[in-house]
Amino acid sequence: MRLLFLLPLYPLAVSVCLAQAPAPPRDESIAVTGTYDPLSLEEMDRTVTVLLARERELLLDGIADLLALEPSLDLRERAPDGVQADLSIRGSNFGQTLVLLNGERLNDAQTGHHDMDIPVPLQAISRVEVLRGSGSTMYGSDAVAGAINVITTPPEDAEVRLRTAFGNFGSNQQSVSLAGSLGAVSEQLVAARDFSDGFMPDRDYRNLQLTSSTHLETGLGPGDVTLGYMDHPFGANQFYGNYNSWENAKTWLAAWRQALGKKTTVSFAFRRHSDLFVLFRDDPSYYANHHADESWQAAVRRREPVTSAITVFYGAEGLRESIVSDNLGIHQRARAAAYASIDFRARRRFSLSLAAREEVYRNFSGEFSPTAAGGIWLSPKWKLRASASRAFRVPSYTDLYYRDPGNLGNANLRPERTWTYETGLVWNPAPRVRADVAVFMRRERDGIDYYRSDPNAVWTALNIQNLNFSGVEASVRWTPARSQSIDFSYTGLRATQDTAPIGFTKYTFQYPKHSGVAAWQAGLSKGFLFRVRLGVRDRLGSGPYALLDAYAASSRGRVRPFMQMTNITGSSYQENPGVQMPGMMVLGGVEIVAHGH
């Protein structure tokens, strides 16, 4: 059995753990992404960032604005508010990032272009956790470069929130959030709409989201039910070439998770996504595609404490995906996986996690994904961590079967496979200062991209060999006061490829060479809130640009005004080649809040 590779290190790890008495952890944010058990950030041996959303909604313009605080995330929007956005981590392609909602996968079987169609408005989101580095051992396919996990939990208090806002380019937003509890049941219902006329012709959009988040305390243990719906039509001018296109994407989601005692958890989720694409908006009959895909997923997970310092985790998962498409045809596929992990941990002294996953497909051979991660405290102020992990991605249906006059899929594509190596150093010189630096390398084989031999040829999907990414990440957070924080973070990337000229791959070499974010957030007297963000990005082949955003709000009383200004300097920039982004945008509004008990 392949999991036997864990056993040689077992006696060593046990002796180290038992030799150290566990110490209580510091009071720090708890993360559930990239680990089988919730851990404080200081105990994580992988690179995980927690982006808090609850109680900060007035200083954020959607989940895309929240993700912009992390420079290793490259969210390539084609319009504001996450319209047709592709998410990349550490220079990956957009299909190599896994998107999760409360731990359930949202990645779209049709194409990674729809992975960010998250049917949950900002008002329902508690936080977003970002795992940088491969996560296939925990989550299977797609988590090649990392994962983001959107966490929804109902507020602890009963409350009603009504919000409205208006801005330039015909922007207007309205939302209502109702939350409360009755006995063992907590519930939040959120409805949100976001409209814009667009900053240029055929760049209008409409976004409607409906979400229900339910938490139940039962005799078996806590349970959660999440329901979501998203209707998202938008003008797609220049998105896929020199066409005034139009698109309408819809998402339905139902997810359930239930604890069975203290050791076992079961979960089930269903996702349906439809995509209607029209090449010429003023002549829909000329060329149109309609795709509808569904995914069913189920899992059983269990934890077994061996001693106070050793825990074993294991479980099994299943996934079935299908599609009915005018262009891609009718297809379905299924896969099943089993995993096991052993965790040795003496808190604030030493940790080591060894894990492996075997995933088996109907149409592909099995994939074995091991991970080893560990950390050691050099002193109370310094922690050294390192990890090595293998990941993979199964081709999307678009990769395999898509065809039009300019693009051609390839039914013979092999799954992408990567190894990622990482080491990092954390420094906590004082209670209000934290610094972190990490270096990493991702070695990719059978990477999937579109390639052509000359500018007049058809883009054809194929497997590309020997693509290597290396980079460095550094961040510093200073908290001068309880209600203020100042953050500086930077990511540098470099990629090499030895099988094709850079100019003839379609997506691989669009990554940002340098990304930096400086952010200040403060809660001042009388409930005034402020946030300023400066982001600088130097994308390969297109040059650097800077985006300055500022936000202000009042958090006291029942009536809470707010104002948001993005791209204040009016920078001209493109996150996707040929797709122009807007200049300065201003949005102002008010939120009315009523609390109960």
- Would you list the DSSP string of 518-578? EEEEEE-GGGEEEEEEEEEEEETTTEEEEEEEEEEEE-SSSEEEEEEEESTT-----SBTT
Rounded Cα distance, 564 and 551, in Å: 5
pLDDT at 452: 86
Distances (CA, A) of 407 to 165, 382, 453: 41, 51, 13
Rounded Cα distance, 207 and 83, in Å: 9
Q: Is the pTM of this model over 0.85?
A: yes
pLDDT at 466: 86
Look over the chain and give the mean of its residue pLDDT values, rounded to a whole number: 90
pLDDT at 465: 85
Q: Taking 60 as the threshold, does the pLDDT of residue 9 lie above it?
A: no
Average pLDDT over residues 207-211: 96
Task: Dig out the tokens for 313 from the structure.
Answer: 């985790």
pLDDT at 23: 35
pLDDT at 3: 36
Q: What is the pLDDT of residues 139-185, one digit of tens each?
A: 999 999 999 999 999 888 899 999 999 999 999 999 999 999 988 99
- Burial of residue 130 (CB within 10 Å: 0-12, 13-18, 19+) is buried
Tell me the pLDDT band of 379, cut-offs 50, 70 and 90: very high
Instruction: Give the range among 47-51, 81-85, 228-232, 368-372 with minimum mean pLDDT.
Output: 81-85
Q: Taking 50 as the threshold, does the pLDDT of residue 489 lie above it?
A: yes
Rounded Cα distance, 450 and 504, in Å: 8
In the chain, % of residues over pLDDT 90: 75
**For the CA atoms of the chain, what is the radius of gyration?**
23
Rounded Cα distance, 246 and 205, in Å: 10
pLDDT at 509: 85
Closest CA to 271 of 227, 209, 324: 227
Rounded Cα distance, 258 and 468, in Å: 40
The gap from C-alpha 174 to its chain's centroid, in whole angstroms, comes to 25
Half-sphere exposure of 466 (CA within 13 A, CB side): 6
Q: What is the pLDDT of residues 542-564, one digit of tens each?
A: 889 999 999 999 988 999 999 99
Q: Taking 80 as the threshold, does the pLDDT of residue 347 lie above it?
A: yes
Q: What is the pLDDT of residues 83-117, one digit of tens each?
A: 888 899 999 988 999 999 999 999 999 998 899 99
pLDDT at 242: 86
H helices of 375-484, in order, are 397-401
In the chain, % of residues over pLDDT 70: 94
pLDDT at 503: 52
Tell me the pLDDT band of 27, cut-offs 50, 70 and 90: very low
Q: Tell me the domains of the chain and their CATH numbers.
A: 2-595 (2.40.170.20)
Grouping H, G, I as helix, E, B as strand and the rest as coil, residue 338 is strand
H helices of 99-201, in order, are 136-139
